[in-house]
Structure 1
Amino acid sequence: MITIAIRVREIVSSNVDTLVSKAGDQRKMLRLLQSEIEETLITLHGDAAKARRQQARLSDAAARMAEGAESWTEKAKVALDHKREDLARAALLTREAERAKAADAAKDAAALEAQITEAADVIAALEAKRTAIIARIADLAQAEKAAAPVADNPLDKRIDRIDALERRAGFADAPAETPSPTSLDEEIAELQKASAIEAELAALKAGSAPAKKAAGKKR
């Protein structure tokens, strides 16, 4: 039934990583192997379907022949009842021949059943191999995409240019820097010092005013 059994075994036993490492164009090689597996699966599915139909026909034929063979026993009894031993003997010989045919048909049906089971196992193995290859192709594509240089986005470049022009024209505010606690303390201390000086100046001014008035009166 399966005329491509040797090639199927080669495909199933092949190591995908080894094949990839030896290939010049890894994704192309994997796609070719995937295509070959899919063609093989089509053939195997077709062969298995034909084998199932043939196995069903053989099983039915074996059952009919086995039933028909046993009917010759009754015919032999009828012949003996009529004193026809020769006919009875012929009937029994015919029964044995029909039994043999039924056994051969059942044997062929069992052989086909074994081939169908084997084909199902091979199909499952090939489908698993195909799934692994598809995943490997996806991994290679992802790796190539990650390694490829990122193309400049024209929109991003235009936005950057607008930002630069706005900063140059003074439209964009420079980001305010958050002062550190140390600089805040220093600035507040300077303000306090300035306030103290202003207060002292005011006090001095207030103290010098009565002295000026007294000097004026003496004159």
Structure 2
Amino acid sequence: MSTRQASATGIPNQATEVHRWSRAMRDRPHMQGDIHEVESKSHSVMVYASAIVPGLLQTAEYARRVFAFFAPGGTDTDLSAAVAGRLDRQLALFDQARRFEFLITEAALRWRPGPAQLLLAQLDRIASMATLDNVTIGLLPHATEAVTYVPHGFVLFDLRDDSRARRGETIAMVETVHANLTVNDPESVARYRRKWCLLREAARYDDGARLLLAALTAELRAGGR
């Protein structure tokens, strides 16, 4: 972990913080409070999800199964606390003073941590949240020609004035297999923002997104498992 001086956000200036899951999960079993703290300081949150549905859009059962994969061997109490923390974070989606943008690949939409009914409910949840005025959801179909290469998901947080950070300051978070990375040096953050802009141009929105969700739903219903 970097030892450089921390900014007002609690994140070192000009640095990347590495929080290893093995240690973080011992200290804070599900880390939802930590992520919620950063989200609460942000006026805009931009999520690119390449492998699974973003946590802010997950149904309770989808989230439970994700946490079970992430921390196998956890108790029912741990899982319940993690799911409750994630659902508590989702209340921010109804705050009209804040904006949330999601870019989700078709691969993430198709990833199924349980039976077909679980994923059907999850796709319906995504369609429902897309109707909120402050929430934008773009989908990236397999059939769309690639415009860039991003090997993992990431989140960009534009911090608010009342977070005591400079207006326009942005941090990025990246989840890897071994650790959560928090990035706030301008050059690296700018690279993530450029990737975001490219992905956004290739995404389907509104009717295009609804058609893709409807096609995936029909495919699942036809499969019946």
Greater strand proportion: 2
TM-score (norm 2): 0.22
TM-score (norm 1): 0.22
The structure with the largest alpha-carbon Rg is 1
Greater helix proportion: 1
Which of the pair has the greater relative contact order for Cα pairs under 8 Å at 6+ separation? 2
